[in-house]
């Protein structure tokens, strides 16, 4: 049967399936991250330290993609592991999200810290982190089976994995600021004098829906990802959209679309880095290749390590302290808008890629400056500057959005530069390694500072502190 290798167009149904498939890539961890403000408000045992726990958990979960890469190199080339790997990680993701619905608030006593900890939440977060980290190296190889036109739709789905949970978290809210109300009044004699006394209690305003409903949403998203993958794997219409083996040259309409390997650095690779091992395909041959001196490569890797350490390790560990003192609503806005800024910055590089090392340096410096302010507010917690003022809320949210945007843009631009240099495959492998090493070092530095040495103090205000309990009758 003759295969039509020209006039390739996108099937709307397959494009929708690809978007749902891509949405499941990082939706679980992104969802947990934007849910942190509410979990802190509801009195989870870790409190403000929960962010540092989640940061170190994500770094440890990179054992998943490491094992995938090792197994991929160890198996014969004709055996492709991405399909069984996707079945496994999606099943784990659905199961973990389902268990969170029932056990997110389960605690046990930890002798090592002499306190209670959210054991179920932390364990399930670890499995979800493995799912999302492994998706970076398993999902994109599977997408390489399809026409490169669908790669753009896959990255649209990855963008939705940050956008959708952020919008749901904004709709959920954290319940607003707590108030104080009189519970009951009574008479009491103090030093022989009759006093009228009031028992004050905190009047907590509830969120619009509980965490259980939010985790149901995450379960539904992971389930839709799994269903989309099954349909992409077995639906006859989906199979017709795969790259025909009989076509020798690039397909018409495909050569102008970045391939999986060239698009990887624009979003997924900045999350994990291991996806950079993909071989260039025919669509990449039209990309001009430039020479990159060893000095310039080292310079870019130093910036990459610095930016990765700050954005993936240091700053996420203290975001709760930096924003919490301005109010949990402000913390929620900073977490969600920062989550949204990540894919936007990636798509800017995807649409208008730049290769200027000066631009890389500038954005890295700007991100560091904004990050320094965020660190300052965390150090000064529970009394940061402009506390209880609208200007302070706006500034801290804007700073966290700028930190995410500038650092994400820096990493994606470095990836683009390396992708278009001679020896890009080895350079991108180093991209992944440096990203992970920097992130791990940042997380390992901050975890003991936050949890062992308690260098940061959370803001726990009691609205009833200024109330007078008893007054003379």
What confidence tens digit (pLDDT) does each residue in 329-348 have? Answer: 999 999 999 999 988 998 89
CA 41 and chain centroid, separation? 21
Q: Copy the structure tokens of residue 30.
A: 């992104």
Q: Residue 169: name the closest of 132, 208, 131 by CA.
A: 208
For the ranges 250-254, 404-408, 419-423, 455-459, the one whose mean pLDDT is highest? 404-408
Which of 191-195, 263-267, 331-335, 437-441 comes out lowest in average pLDDT?
Answer: 263-267
Q: 339-343, 382-386, 443-447: which has the minimum mean pLDDT?
A: 339-343
> Are 319 and 330 a contacting pair, CB within 8 Å?
no
**Reported pTM:** 0.84
Other CB atoms within a 10 A radius of the CB of residue 279 amount to: 10
Lowest mean pLDDT among 270-274, 289-293, 370-374, 420-424: 270-274
| pLDDT of amino acid 137 | 86
DSSP state of 314: I
Of 281 and 129, the structure prediction assigns the larger pLDDT to 129
Angle in degrees, CA 99, 100, 103, rounded to 5: 85
Tell me which of 3-17, 158-172, 205-219, 414-428 is least confident.
3-17
How confident is residue 288, by pLDDT bands cut at 50, 70 and 90? low
- C-alpha 307/C-alpha 367 separation (Å) is 8
The percent of residues in the chain predicted with pLDDT above 90, rounded, is 59
pLDDT band at 448 (very low <50, low <70, confident <90, very high): very high
Instruction: Of 195, 53, 18, give the one whose Cα is nearest residue 123.
Output: 53
Q: Are 414 and 431 in contact (CB under 8 A)?
A: yes
Q: Report the half-sphere exposure of 302 (CA within 13 A, side-chain side).
A: 9
Lowest mean pLDDT segment, chosen from 13-22, 271-280, 316-325, 367-376 = 271-280
Q: What is the rounded distance in angstroms from the CA atom of residue 142 to the CA atom of residue 85?
A: 10
10 close to 150: Cβ distance less than 8 angstroms: yes
Question: What residues contact residue 78 under an 8 Å CB cut-off, 6+ apart?
Answer: none
- The pLDDT of residue 167: 94
Is residue 264 scored above 50 in pLDDT? no
Alpha-carbon gap, residue 18 to 16, rounded angstroms: 5
More confident: 287 or 129: 129
If we measure between CA atoms, which residue out of 96, 113, 118, 108 comes closest to residue 43?
118
DSSP letter, residue 115? E
Give me the chain's average pLDDT, please.
85
Decide if pLDDT at 133 tops 80: yes
Percentage above 70 pLDDT, the chain: 85
Compute the radius of gyration of the chain from its Cα atoms: 25
pLDDT at 184 (0 to 100): 67
Question: Which pLDDT does position 257 carry in this prediction?
Answer: 36
- Across the strands, what pairs with 189? 194
pLDDT for position 24:
94
Q: What is the pLDDT of residue 278?
A: 41
DSSP reduced 3-state for 108: strand
Q: What pLDDT is recorded for position 122? A: 97
- Rounded Cα distance between 11 and 215, Å, is 32
End-to-end CA distance of the chain: 99
Residue 3 scores a pLDDT above 80: no
Residue 248 has pLDDT above 70, yes or no: no
Q: Please determine, for residue 282, whether its predicted confidence score (pLDDT) is greater than 50.
A: no
- Residue with the bigger pLDDT between 233 and 176: it is 233
Check residue 186 and give its pLDDT: 78
The DSSP result for 141-201, as a single string, is HHHTTB-THHHHHHHHHHHHHHHHHHHHHHHH------EEEEEEEEEEEETTEEEEEEEEE
pLDDT at 468 over 70: no
- CA dihedral of 372, 374, 378, 379, whole degrees rounded to 10: 20
């Amino acid at each position: 049967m003759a295969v039509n290798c020209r006039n390739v167009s996108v099937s709307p149904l397959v494009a929708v399936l690809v978007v749902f498939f891509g949405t499941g890539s990082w939706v679980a961890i992104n969802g947990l991250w934007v849910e942190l403000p509410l979990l802190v408000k509801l009195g989870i045992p870790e409190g403000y330290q929960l962010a540092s726990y989640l940061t170190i958990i994500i770094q440890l979960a990179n054992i998943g993609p490491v094992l995938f890469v090792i197994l991929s190199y160890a198996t014969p080339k004709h055996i492709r592991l991405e399909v069984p790997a996707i079945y496994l990680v999606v099943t784990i993701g659905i199961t973990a999200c389902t268990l969170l619905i029932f056990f997110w608030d389960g605690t046990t006593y930890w002798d090592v810290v002499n306190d209670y900890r959210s054991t179920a939440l932390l364990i399930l977060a670890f499995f979800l982190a493995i799912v999302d980290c492994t998706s970076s190296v398993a999902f994109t190889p599977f997408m390489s089976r399809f026409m490169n036109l669908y790669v753009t739709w896959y990255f649209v789905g990855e963008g939705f994995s940050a956008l959708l949970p952020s919008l749901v978290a904004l709709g959920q809210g954290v319940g607003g600021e707590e108030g104080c109300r009189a519970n009951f009044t009574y008479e009491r004699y103090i030093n022989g004098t009759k006093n009228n006394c009031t028992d004050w209690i905190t009047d907590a305003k509830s969120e619009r829906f509980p965490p259980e409903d939010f985790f149901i949403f995450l379960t539904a998203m992971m389930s839709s990802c799994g269903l989309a993958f099954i349909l992409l794997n077995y639906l006859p219409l989906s199979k017709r959209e795969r790259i025909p083996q009989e076509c020798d040259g690039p397909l018409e309409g495909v050569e102008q679309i970045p391939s999986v390997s060239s698009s990887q650095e624009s979003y997924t690779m900045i999350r994990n880095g291991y996806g950079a091992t993909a071989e260039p395909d025919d669509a990449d041959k039209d990309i001009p290749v430039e020479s990159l001196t060893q000095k310039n490569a080292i310079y870019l890797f130093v910036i990459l390590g610095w930016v990765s350490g700050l954005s993936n390790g240091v700053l996420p560990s203290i975001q709760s302290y930096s924003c919490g003192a301005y109010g949990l609503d402000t913390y929620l806005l900073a977490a969600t808008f920062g989550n949204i800024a990540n894919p936007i910055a990636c798509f800017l590089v995807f649409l208008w890629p730049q290769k200027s090392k000066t631009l890389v340096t500038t954005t890295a410096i700007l991100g560091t400056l904004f990050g320094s302010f965020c660190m300052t507010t965390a150090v000064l917690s529970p009394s940061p500057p402009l506390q209880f003022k609208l200007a302070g809320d706006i500034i801290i949210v804007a700073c966290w959005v700028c930190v995410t945007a500038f650092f994400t843009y820096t990493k994606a631009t470095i990836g683009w530069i390396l992708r278009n240099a001679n020896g890009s495959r080895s350079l991108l492998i180093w991209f992944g390694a440096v990203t992970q090493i920097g992130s791990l070092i940042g997380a390992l530095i901050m975890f003991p500072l936050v949890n062992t040495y308690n260098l940061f103090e959370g803001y726990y205000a009691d609205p009833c502190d200024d109330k007078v309990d008893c007054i003379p009758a």
